Amino acid sequence: MRRRSLMIAAGAGVASSLAGPSLVRAQSASTLRFTPQQDLVTLDPVTTTAYASRNHGYMVFDTLYGMDANFQATPQMVDGHRIEDDGKRWDLTLREGLLFHDGERVLARDCVASLKRWAKRDPFGGMLMEATEELSAPDDRTIRFRLKHPFPLLPIALGKASVPVCAMMPARLAETDPYRQVPELIGSGPFRYKADERVSGSLNVYTKFEGYVPRRDGALAWTSGPKVVHFDRVEWRVMPDASTATSALLAGEADWQEYAYHDQLPLMRRSRNVRVQVLDRTGFVGQLQVNHLQAPFNNPEIRRALWGAIDQTSTMQALVGPQETSLFHVPLGYFCPGTPMASIDGLAPLTAPRDYGRTKEALRAAGYRGETVLLMVPSTSSGSLAMGTVAADSLKQAGLNVEVYTVEFNAMLQRRNRKGPVAEGGWSAFVTNWAGMDWLNPAGHIALRGAGEAGYAGWATIPRLEELRSTWFTAPDLAAQQTICREMQAVALQEVPYYPLGQYLQPTAFRSNLTGVLDGFATFWNLRRS
């Protein structure tokens, strides 16, 4: 929040205090003040992979299934499901009492329309729809999948906590083009979004939805279990400056800071009124994405030679600090460390000391002829900025002609869609990060694809990677899935859709009188002020 906004807020506080100290205390007790890691730009959580939009989405919308701490699907809007016809028919039954924010009942036909819209944006949902013969609503509470073949991953496809969100909304809104935002936010989640109080770049407001009926069972973690709300109002107050955000938390002007900036951790840890904690052990994974359509990275020999310039340890140290060794993990392959599909097979090239002279020679032998490498680095993300700084330096040491283009994150997203050469406004590479849960398996791993121009920005064409991904969905057991993922990693190390840069853990920080903070990303049920 800028100084002007702080002064306005302070003025409002004075006005409130004139109205009476008891009113001020009541408002403070019922309002949670949250500092998100960035502004909420996209309000429709189906149309984006932005994590701010995901967190917002789980407040406003509910999902048919949730995900627990073991990454397993749990019933959320549904009471449960029944499987028949040798796994080719699934009937999902909605819970009683579900309401949208406009007072209308949540009906199965609303969910069917929502599922169809979401599946056009989500790769996992797309695979489910490919396996679906018919998706229908035979009555108000039943969602029926008639499948071409068994798809045992159906619940986790609908309940995964990775982006984009499988948000249930009224059918009239779900009929919106999935590549355009819905015109209004009417969900059935535990909070209403107050569009009339939004201040772009500064403030987003949510109020408790009194008509929400939490489920009665389930372990509380991630998006699973009873979503019981204790705050009447949640305010997302955007503070891009790290020092300002930290000062607000330490002074009690904010209750919860989503990302505790790594360089501010010592200051926060010294405060008895602030708790610093890692809620998500999957953390974040860094990525250097390259453009497979344009020189020099359309040459697979150059992509392979560049492994010698990737320094995961230096990248992570620049991001979290050299002393915070417990907050990062290397080497990182193509799946999230510590999860079932991850392995260290083939990662030896990442663990040897970097030899930039040798890498320079390898790049020259592979055909590099001095082409400009335009590296896009998001200026509004401290993590990506740190990764981009190391990446630029490493590529330059390896002899590449690097031009660094530092730009606001959303502007980078727009430019990365351009497929032409650098001279025509295109790009060569960019750095970004993903939540570790997005790299759990091939289903939701958007970047680990070889689908060409139909795939993720970078547009790698790797047929074998696509074949293995398709096979993974029908693997008979966990061991078979793991075998497929090890082969996928071997193919990726050879063909290089992108370069993994390391995994880091992102602490959060909140006032010590705030209780009920759940593991996972930022969720706003179960919270109380002691």
Per-residue pLDDT reduced to its tens digit, 317-328 = 999 999 899 999
Q: Give the pLDDT score at 498.
A: 98
Q: Are 201 and 36 in contact (CB under 8 A)?
A: no
Q: Give the pLDDT score at 40.
A: 94
pTM check: above 0.75: yes
Q: Are 284 and 504 in contact (CB under 8 A)?
A: yes
Q: At 29, is the pLDDT very low, low, confident or very high (cuts 50, 70, 90)?
A: confident
Answer with the residue of higher pLDDT: 31 or 7.
Answer: 31
Q: Give the pLDDT score at 381.
A: 82
- Of 521, 336, 306, 346, give the one whose Cα is nearest residue 437: 336
**What is the pLDDT of the chain when averaged over all its residues?**
93
Q: How far apart are CA 374 and CA 257, in angstroms?
A: 34
Q: How many helices (H) and strands (E) does the chain have?
A: 17, 21
Question: Please, what is the Cα angle at 16 between 14 and 21, to 5 degrees?
Answer: 100
Q: Are 220 and 226 in contact (CB under 8 A)?
A: yes
Q: Are 513 and 325 in contact (CB under 8 A)?
A: no
Q: Give the pLDDT score at 28.
A: 67
Burial class (CB in 10 A: 0-12, 13-18, 19+), 196: exposed
Reduced DSSP (H G I as helix, E B as strand, rest coil) percent helix, strand, coil of the chain, to 5? 35, 20, 45
Per-residue pLDDT reduced to its tens digit, 183-216 = 999 999 999 999 999 999 999 999 999 999 999 9
- Of 414, 497, 409, give the one whose Cα is nearest residue 451: 497
- The predicted model gives 174-181 an average pLDDT of 97
% of the chain beyond a pLDDT of 70: 95
Per-residue pLDDT reduced to its tens digit, 113-138 = 999 999 999 999 999 999 999 999 99
- Of 94, 79, 54, give the one whose Cα is nearest residue 223: 54
Question: What is the full DSSP assignment across 132-170?
Answer: EEEEEEEETTEEEEEESS--TTHHHHHH-SSSSP-----
